[in-house]
Amino acid sequence: MIAIIDYGMGNLHSVSKAVERLGYEAEVTADPQRIIEADGAILPGVGAFGDAMQNLRNTMLDDVAKYYAGSGKPMLGICLGMQLLFSESSEYGSNKGLDLLPGQVVRFSGDFKIPHMGWNKLQFSQPQSPLFKGLSQGHVYFVHSFHALPELKSDLLATTDYYGDVTAIVGRDNLYGMQFHPEKSGELGMALLGNFLALTGGRG
């Protein structure tokens, strides 16, 4: 079973349906025990970083997410969920994140359209990652005003170009994050999600 962590912010239904389309059982849940027992966990997210962290703390799901990340079982953050994996964000003031990956989340800055919205090509920084097995670099769909700056180059799996390199996919050991929504990113997005799910061994 794949746990879709429900902390009140995220495209829970679309993520759940995408997981099911790929042949895996999905459960949207805020139950710590169900999350801990799951073969894989997905932390989705839409909205503001500070509000999301407050919701996680209020439900004690921040501790559950940290515990799960340390369990060795595959965990994926999507969009805001990816940003929450980092140490902190400057969105509406300074906000502490889950601090599972060292780095900051900052707002785009420059004389160009913000938010970054549209189809952009991925550049695989670490083609050997199991997320990219059997895949070629292609386009996925982004909608975001803030982007992550990982401290460690080894945590950066893929970038995209939007007036400079932008973090698109991160990963370390069993922990992964995608800035875009894979379930809304066509064939490549679903293939990336499928490769993550394959790591869980929980098909069917």
Find the length of the chain.
204
Q: How would you label 68-106 residue by residue, b for 16+ Cβ within 10 Å and e otherwise? A: bbeeebbbbbbbbbbbbbbbbbebeeebebbebbebbbe
Dist. CA 3–CA 37, nearest whole Å = 9
CA-nearest of 140, 69, 57, 125 to 97 is: 57
Give the tokens for residue 173: 């050991």
Dist. CA 18–CA 39, nearest whole Å = 16
Give the tokens for residue 58: 């209020």
Catalytic site positions = 79, 181, 183
Dist. CA 132–CA 118, nearest whole Å = 21
Q: Distance of CA 57 to CAs 14, 164, 192, 198, Å?
A: 24, 34, 29, 30
Query: What are the φ and ψ backbone dihedral angles of 58, each rounded to 5 degrees?
Result: -60, -30
